[in-house]
A and B are shown apart, each in its own frame.
Chain A
Amino acid sequence: TQLLEQSPQFLSIQEGENLTVYCNSSSVFSSLQWYRQEPGEGPVLLVTVVTGGEVKKLKRLTFQFGDARKDSSLHITAAQPGDTGLYLCAGVTQGGSEKLVFGKGTKLTVNP
């Protein structure tokens, strides 16, 4: 069974602080996705990382895929209340029967 462990599970910070959330596995993934889910809504894709070591930036959000394609991180600079939500990582497994494996998520609260 391929598992994605996300940490921390909960994070509450003040507006303007920086934060990093992590997504780790013992398995190798062909690509990894990050989604953000706001209360009462479905997850929305933020980014997909494909290449080991890849770094992608989306405004104040920086995503990194580990060199071995087993882990990823999301760093948010100068967090804002609008960043509040559940952040989910999802890995695409390798092999003939590709599947999408979700982590349990990091619930982020940014207080004004």
Chain B
Amino acid sequence: NAGVTQTPKFQVLKTGQSMTLQCAQDMNHEYMSWYRQDPGMGLRLIHYSVGAGITDQGEVPNGYNVSRSTTEDFPLRLLSAAPSQTSVYFCAARPGDVRELFFGEGSRLTVL
């Protein structure tokens, strides 16, 4: 029972490089979201999706892109990484009519 799977778990980038954080869920949940977690800042919503083909911005969307071509996958793209994007990133999913989130194990990103 995988739930929400994130890859990679760890990544080091140089400033200006691009990369994609992958998120896949096997629960057939409509809603998926990306958060970043920084010390003293809590969890902040980056982007979210209420279903395939629909995405919207959260609290801190700048520097990130998302797409939702299938129910299962919700990748997060960094087009030109900056040191300020060093963080732990969490993907989460939930059914459409329920507010409780199921989180992945996180992806720790360091931008040098």
Stretch of A13-21, A63-71, A102-110 contacting B (4+ beta carbons < 8 Å): A102-110
Using a CB-CB cutoff of 8 Å, which residues 92-112 of chain A contact chain B? Answer: 92, 98-100, 102-105
Interface bin, chain B: 10 to 19
The reply to whether the CB of B19 lies closer than 8 angstroms to some CB of chain A is no
Specify which of B40, B42, B100 is in contact with A33 (CB 8 Å cutoff): B100
Residues on the A chain within 8 Å of B41, using CB: 104
Evaluate contact between B43 and A45: CB separation under 8 angstroms: no
Are A45's CB and B101's CB within 8 A? Answer: yes
Selecting from B65-73, B77-85, B103-111, the interface stretch reads B103-111
What residues of chain B lie closer than 8 Å to A100, measured between beta carbons? 45, 99, 101
Which of B41, B90, B99 counts the most chain A CB atoms within 10 A? B99
- CA A106 to CA B6, docked complex, whole Å: 25
**Known: A88-B42, A105-B42. Contact between A44 and B100, CB under 8 A?**
no
Residues of A within 8 A of B43 (CB): 43, 88, 102
Contact bitstring A30-52, B, C-beta under 8 A = 1, else 0: 01010000001111110010000
On whether A92 and B99 interact (CB within 8 A), knowing A42-B90, A104-B40, the answer reads: yes
Binding site for A on B (CB under 8 A): 4, 40-45, 90, 92, 99-106
Q: Apart from A33-B100, A98-B99, A102-B42, what are 5 other A-B pairs with CB-CB below 8 Å? A: A42-B106, A43-B103, A48-B100, A88-B43, A100-B99
Chain A positions within 8 Å of B, measured between CB atoms, are: 31, 33, 40-45, 48, 88, 90, 92, 98-100, 102-105
30 contacts between A and B (CB under 8 A): A31-B99, A40-B105, A40-B106, A41-B105, A42-B4, A42-B90, A42-B105, A42-B106, A43-B43, A43-B101, A43-B103, A44-B103, A45-B100, A45-B102, A48-B99, A48-B100, A88-B42, A88-B43, A90-B101, A92-B99, A98-B99, A99-B45, A100-B99, A100-B101, A102-B42, A102-B43, A102-B44, A104-B40, A104-B42, A105-B42
